[in-house]
Amino acid sequence: MNFSEFIEKFATHPNYCAPTGTGLHAKSWQTEAALRMLLNNLDRHVAENPEELVVYGGTGQAARNPEALLQIIKCLLELDENHSLLVQSGKAVGIVRTHPEAPRVFIANSNLVPKWATWDHFEKLRSEGLMMYGQMTAGSWIYIGSQGILQGTFETFAACGTKYFNGVMKHKLIVSGGLGGMGGAQPLAATMTGATFLGVDIDPERIKKRVESGYIDFISYTYTEAKELVLKAKRDGMAISVGLVGDIGDTLELLLNDGIIPDVVTDQTSAHDPLYGYVPNGLTLEAARILRKVASVEYKNLSLKSMARHVGFMLEMQQLGAVVFDYGNNLREMALEGGEKNAYNYNGFIPEFIRPLFCDGKGPFRWVALSGNPEDIRITDQAMIQAFPDNIQLIRWLQKAEERVEFQGLPARICWLGMGEREKAGILLNNLVKEGRVKAPIVIGRDHLDCGSVASPNRETESMLDGSDAVSDWPLLNLMANTGGGATWVSFHHGGGVGMGYSQHAGMVVVADGTQRAEQCIRRVLYNDPALGIFRHNDAGYVKAQQNMKVFNLDF
């Protein structure tokens, strides 16, 4: 198949899909994997808006523009094992000499010198075609649809239940805004813990997409209907989810007026981007699209004021007994800028629930079947259950995921694994390929939201014990350690999750193709990656991480 035929079949804008099966189009599985994952990111079943190359999060792109995407594809098809591709904010800019165990692709997205790291400067560059917003896994080609955040959301809601409700989420109501690429995982994660869920999004298409994929049970167009559905379900202990088409601020206000206080309130709108990620109160979707184009400054100001109102209602609910936490979209900061002076009166989900896991080197571990065959994932699920018989939470998750999670694009799975576990799992997956028990190689990756790969003072590194929230040496060290270890592709981004100026983070992917070379790379990368999390938290003074330095022989 020549280049033109490949493009016609797999990458005719905006209809993208990943090749499947056991045949190579590129020169090795390392570059074939990157190629398939890039196109999978843009598959209409996975991406929010393939027309704009947007994968999730409002503006998170996989490539800068269609022309740049074609050039990246061409390079990946031709790249050999002694060269590596450089990608700068979604555009191929060069090929360098490397070696077979070096990363095949080096990616840098949205990075700006700190003084210039603002939305205004970024938007100027983007309007001139000089930059794109990579989010986290959009621009690093390892997004797997809503399941990518589903397991972490499940972990968070379960931890919330453990901390505040004696481990029982039945008869509990969770209310949240945002049902897009990241927020779309919330309803299924909530019901998997046994809770009742009400999610609100202004865009009905987002809710319809979640209903079609089985992530949301019901769509409602009226507050009254949605309210009655969830209140009955909460009373009866029914784990159902309802997606309400509407404004989250208005919905919270109506609940308050009706004296209905949810047990848990959070939010996953794309609040990090006040121009493209949030629709101001009182505007229809169409009115928002027009105003965004003709009066962007006015639009941003309206968004910030709406977020302040939104957070104000969350704070009222907190005062009335609701468990309220920030889910890492920088809503509190935007609300503060919009005039809500008490915006930070509730905590983020990392210090509330996740940091103890980080001290164990735990975080999101995902894998994708390049064959496209769902049976490969079922085989890996069973192999993981057998490999970790004492990890009850892992087994519970894998069994529920097999029952409830519908694949989007290439079949994939995610779970949270820690130091030692990731390396063991990686070798297991490589052996499944080597033994022919799965049909084709497997991609192993993770979210940038991980124990040692991100500096984000309003999210992952909020309220660090030693005050080192904003130190971004750590994600840079993570990037270098995984490059030296032989990851198949690596990435370094700015702004993912919380917006320009608020975070820096590193990503990695390693391919299990059944070879000895892959095993060596997997052993190094899946040791280095979680070890950085323990190093980071040990240095910050966390006792659990200090203990783990000894448990895993990380002392030096």
User: Using 50, 70 and 90 to split pLDDT, how confident is the model at 70?
Assistant: very high
405 and 264: one domain? no
Residue 51 lies in a domain: no
User: Is 82 in a helix, a strand, or coil?
Assistant: coil
Helix (H) or strand (E) holding 511: strand 504-512
User: Using 50, 70 and 90 to split pLDDT, how confident is the model at 183?
Assistant: confident
pLDDT of residue 396: 86
Task: Report d(CA 303, CA 281) in Å as an integer.
Answer: 8
**Within 13 Å of residue 143, how many CA atoms lie on the same side as its CB?**
30
210 and 159: one domain? yes
The yes-or-no verdict on residue 497 having pLDDT over 90 is: no
User: Using 50, 70 and 90 to split pLDDT, how confident is the model at 150?
Assistant: confident
Neighbours of 27 (CB within 10 A): 15
In this structure, what CATH number is given to the domain that contains residue 290? 3.40.50.10730
pTM, rounded to two decimals: 0.89
pLDDT of residue 156: 93
Do residues 312 and 257 lie in contact, with contact meaning Cβ atoms separated by under 8 Å?
A: no
Residue 182 lies in a domain: yes
First to last CA, the chain: 52
The yes-or-no verdict on residue 412 having pLDDT over 90 is: yes
pLDDT, mean over the chain: 96
Do residues 399 and 350 lie in contact, with contact meaning Cβ atoms separated by under 8 Å?
A: no
**Pure H helices in 389-472:** 392-404, 421-434
366 and 302: one domain? no
**Mean per-residue pLDDT for 212-233?**
96
341 and 362: one domain? no
Do residues 69 and 53 lie in contact, with contact meaning Cβ atoms separated by under 8 Å?
A: yes
268 and 227: one domain? yes
The yes-or-no verdict on residue 357 having pLDDT over 80 is: yes
Q: Per the structure, how many domains does the chain have?
A: 2
**Mean per-residue pLDDT for 499-509?**
97
pLDDT of residue 42: 98
Residue 449 lies in a domain: yes
The yes-or-no verdict on residue 181 having pLDDT over 90 is: no
The yes-or-no verdict on residue 312 having pLDDT over 90 is: yes
389 and 428: one domain? yes
Neighbours of 476 (CB within 10 A): 14
Domain end point (choices 312, 346, 380) = 346
Residue 17 falls in the annotated catalytic set: no
306 and 373: one domain? no
Helix (H) or strand (E) holding 148: helix 147-164
363 and 336: one domain? no
pLDDT of residue 152: 87
Give the model confidence (pLDDT) of 417-439 as tens digits: 999 999 999 999 999 999 999 99
Do residues 278 and 270 lie in contact, with contact meaning Cβ atoms separated by under 8 Å?
A: yes
Residue 407 lies in a domain: yes
Give the model confidence (pLDDT) of 195-207 as tens digits: 999 999 999 999 9
User: Using 50, 70 and 90 to split pLDDT, how confident is the model at 552?
Assistant: very high
**Mean per-residue pLDDT for 380-396?**
94
Residue 30 lies in a domain: no
pLDDT of residue 337: 97
Domain end point (choices 299, 326, 346) = 346
- Percent of the chain exceeding pLDDT 70 equals 100
Domain of 335?
A: 147-346
Please report, as a single letter, which amino acid is at residue 75: C
Residue 513 lies in a domain: yes
The yes-or-no verdict on residue 243 having pLDDT over 80 is: yes
pLDDT of residue 9: 97
pLDDT of residue 406: 86
- Percent of the chain exceeding pLDDT 90 equals 93
Nearest to 342 by CA among 386, 308, 294: 308
pLDDT greater at residue 266 or residue 497: 266
DSSP at 49 = B
Give the model confidence (pLDDT) of 124-136 as tens digits: 999 999 999 999 9
Asked whether the CA dihedral 254, 256, 259, 263 is positive or negative, the reply is positive
pLDDT of residue 147: 86
Residue length of the chain:
556
Helix (H) or strand (E) holding 376: helix 374-387
227 and 314: one domain? yes
Please report, as a single letter, which amino acid is at residue 342: N
320 and 369: one domain? no
User: Using 50, 70 and 90 to split pLDDT, how confident is the model at 155?
Assistant: confident
**Mean per-residue pLDDT for 358-368?**
96
Residue 229 lies in a domain: yes
Task: Report d(CA 531, CA 523) in Å as an integer.
Answer: 12
Residue 475 lies in a domain: no
From residue 483, alpha-carbon distances to 99, 284, 465, 490, 514 in Å are 12, 46, 29, 7, 20
Domain end point (choices 346, 378, 402) = 346
Nearest to 41 by CA among 145, 189, 196: 145
228 and 154: one domain? yes
pLDDT of residue 280: 98
Q: CA torsion, points 240, 332, 119, 533, in degrees to nearest 10?
A: -80
pLDDT of residue 260: 98
User: Using 50, 70 and 90 to split pLDDT, how confident is the model at 182?
Assistant: confident
Do residues 217 and 240 lie in contact, with contact meaning Cβ atoms separated by under 8 Å?
A: yes
In this structure, what CATH number is given to the domain that contains residue 423? 3.40.1770.10
pLDDT greater at residue 212 or residue 473: 473
Do residues 218 and 229 lie in contact, with contact meaning Cβ atoms separated by under 8 Å?
A: yes
Q: What are phi and psi of 170, to 5 degrees?
A: -60, 140
User: Using 50, 70 and 90 to split pLDDT, how confident is the model at 499?
Assistant: very high
Task: Report d(CA 428, CA 482) in Å as an integer.
Answer: 20
Do residues 264 and 321 lie in contact, with contact meaning Cβ atoms separated by under 8 Å?
A: no
Set 17, 160, 415, 451: catalytic member: 415
387 and 311: one domain? no
Q: CA torsion, points 201, 206, 211, 215, in degrees to nearest 10?
A: -80
The yes-or-no verdict on residue 393 having pLDDT over 90 is: no
Most confident range (mean pLDDT) of 147-156, 228-237, 323-332 is: 228-237
Q: CA torsion, points 156, 530, 382, 240, in degrees to nearest 10?
A: 10
Structure tokens at 204: 């009905």
